Amino acid sequence: MNWLRKPVVLFLLIINLSSQSLFCQDIDEIVRFSDQLFAKGKYELAANEYNRALFFGSKEPDKICLKIANCYFKQNKFDQCIQFYDRTYFSSNSDSIKTEAILGKSFALILEKNYVLAISEMMNIDSAKNNYHDVKLNFLRGIAYFGLHEDKLSETFFNKCLFQLSFKNDSVIKRDFYAIKKTEKRFNPHTAYFLSLVLPGTGQFYSGSIKEGLNSAILLDGLLLAAVFLAREYSTVTSFVTILPWFQRYYLGGANKAERLTLEKQLAKRNDIYQNILQTFEQVYSVKQIK
């Protein structure tokens, strides 16, 4: 029996090894095809193909998970991309890939305005292993602290990032953050609220909303005239009971609205300055790429 069995076992072993080789080639083809789909911007299809390669046993699951996460990120599917960034981190032995996963997850959290958790994630990076990761780390920290209105820290990290990009002129960022301070001083919501309490309509004027200020002043003046008319025609008590609830409602409502309009103006100006900061980085990075 042994002389008959040995060739059969050897034959089956050869078949098994060859099929495994072909199977690996198939997975490599799937990954290459997925890369092409990603390059063409077909992120949903690319994610499906990468998932297929992962399911069938890719030799580099951490790299495939990172690519899947990037696909979901491009589709703004942040919950799914965060899951795969986590899978990348825990399945990889490469410090570089782990760092890339943390940075990707942090960026997704920032886009979801979860700035505190993003900063917490970035603290897991002891030190970036290359300049590219270091630049990205400082840039994302700058954005996260900006989102938390921690402007001193944001300015510090943005300047670090510019310095790493060989842009030594820190006056550009200083100018932008100084403009933010001026904006916050100019459009103070508490000041608008107080002005509206002192003289209805002035809080809206302060915020730059002339129409809203006129509406508030005219409405409250009209209620005062109505109160005087009712007091003359009927009685002070009737006037008081009838007009006071309406007057109180629009008086306090006008003050609250003035505060809200001023805050919206402040945030709009802040967003404009933020766009200027991003444009500065875009220009610096473009020049660096050309060089």
What pLDDT digit, counting tens, does each position of 46-61 carry? 999 999 999 888 889 9
The alpha-carbon radius of gyration of the chain (Å, integer) is: 31
Report which of 199, 189, 187 is spatially closest to residue 259, judged by C-alpha positions.
Answer: 189
Q: Residue 223: what pLDDT?
A: 83
Q: Give SS3 for 17.
A: helix
CA atoms within 13 A on the CB side of 200: 19
- The answer to whether 44 and 73 are in contact (CB under 8 A) is no
Model-level pTM? 0.82
What pLDDT digit, counting tens, does each position of 13-39 carry? 444 443 444 344 588 888 999 999 999
Region 175-185 average pLDDT: 94
To which residue do tokens 């077909």 refer? Answer: 42
What pLDDT digit, counting tens, does each position of 241-262 carry? 888 888 888 889 999 999 999 9
Residue 287 confidence class, pLDDT cut points 50, 70, 90: low
Q: CA-CA distances (angstroms) from residue 101 to 2, 63, 119, 232?
A: 54, 10, 14, 75
- The answer to whether 288 and 165 are in contact (CB under 8 A) is yes
Q: Residue type at 154?
A: S
CA 111, CA 244: separation in Å to the nearest integer? Answer: 46
Report which of 167, 192, 177 is spatially closest to residue 261, judged by C-alpha positions.
Answer: 192
Q: Residue type at 181?
A: K
- The answer to whether 148 and 234 are in contact (CB under 8 A) is no
Q: Residue 25: what pLDDT?
A: 55
Q: Residue type at 238?
A: T
- The answer to whether 74 and 62 are in contact (CB under 8 A) is no
